[in-house]
């Protein structure tokens, strides 16, 4: 099976869904930011600080091309991945793109909690963050909107919401469930 690319704004649940779907299927989960961090021995904040956003986008594109070669993977892209170079067209040609679409209010509340590791929003206060999200979503939706599938991920706060949303995702994409492991085969 060709890769599934999860795209969408920071905080839309790409890593949460990717991990949960991977546990329920035979797909391996890859987080593109983590892949970049491991390959370049630096976290995203350090890469932004040392190479600037342009340098980060260049590495991101190269690593996107690398992971796109893999079979049976679900890839959580960075929020900006689809918005640079021809990355969106590239992903559409190499697998299935899914826009995890989340309302501004929910993105805002998730990102208030998780903004520290994200260089683009780390220093923003409550109101600045809300305005930044609204503006960025307006600009980025043109790229996100090119995804093959549009999937709503507003409900991911509790374990049971994650489980329900992941099952809905698996059904929507028609991904085969994994075979139970270590089960005795009956004659």
What is the DSSP-derived secondary structure letter of residue 140? H
Q: Strand ranges (DSSP E) for the chain?
A: 4-7, 28-31, 73-76, 96-101, 149-152
Q: Of 153, 155, 112, which is closest to residue 132 (Cα–Cα)?
A: 112
Question: What is the rounded CA–CA span in Å between residue 174 and residue 169?
Answer: 8
Minimum distance, C-beta of residue 84 to ligand S3P, in the bound complex (Å)? 9
3-state secondary structure of 58: helix
The residue ranges that bind ligand S3P (CB under 6 A) are 10, 14, 33, 44, 78-80, 118-120
The residue (of 13 and 95) whose beta carbon lies closer to ligand S3P is 13
CB 58 within 8 A of CB 13: no
Minimum distance, C-beta of residue 161 to ligand S3P, in the bound complex (Å)? 19
Minimum distance, C-beta of residue 97 to ligand S3P, in the bound complex (Å)? 15
Minimum distance, C-beta of residue 98 to ligand S3P, in the bound complex (Å)? 14
Q: Where are the alpha helices (DSSP H) in 68-158?
A: 87-94, 104-114, 126-144
The residue (of 128 and 171) whose beta carbon lies closer to ligand S3P is 128
Structure tokens belonging to residue 178: 């994994």
Minimum distance, C-beta of residue 17 to ligand S3P, in the bound complex (Å)? 12
The residue (of 14 and 108) whose beta carbon lies closer to ligand S3P is 14
Q: Of 116, 117, 119, 118, which is closest to residue 52 (Cα–Cα)?
A: 119
3-state secondary structure of 25: strand
The residue (of 66 and 119) whose beta carbon lies closer to ligand S3P is 119
The residue (of 80 and 95) whose beta carbon lies closer to ligand S3P is 80
């Amino acid at each position: 099976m060709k890769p599934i690319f999860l795209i969408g704004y920071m905080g839309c649940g790409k890593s949460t869904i990717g991990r949960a779907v991977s546990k329920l299927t035979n797909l391996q989960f890859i987080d593109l930011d983590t892949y970049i961090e491991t390959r370049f021995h630096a976290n995203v904040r350090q890469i932004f600080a040392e190479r600037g956003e342009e340098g980060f986008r260049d590495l991101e594109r190269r690593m996107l091309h690398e992971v796109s070669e893999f079979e049976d993977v679900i890839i959580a892209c960075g929020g900006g991945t689809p918005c640079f170079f021809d990355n969106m067209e590239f992903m559409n040609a190499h697998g299935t793109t899914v826009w995890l679409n989340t309302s501004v209010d929910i993105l805002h509340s998730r990102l208030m909690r998780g903004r520290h590791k994200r260089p683009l929003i780390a220093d923003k206060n409550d109101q600045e963050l809300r305005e930044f999200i609204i503006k960025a979503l307006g600009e980025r939706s043109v790229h996100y909107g090119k995804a093959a599938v549009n999937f709503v991920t507003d409900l991911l706060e509790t374990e049971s919401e994650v489980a329900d949303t992941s099952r809905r995702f698996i059904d929507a994409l028609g991904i085969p469930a994994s075979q139970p492991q270590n089960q005795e085969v009956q004659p």
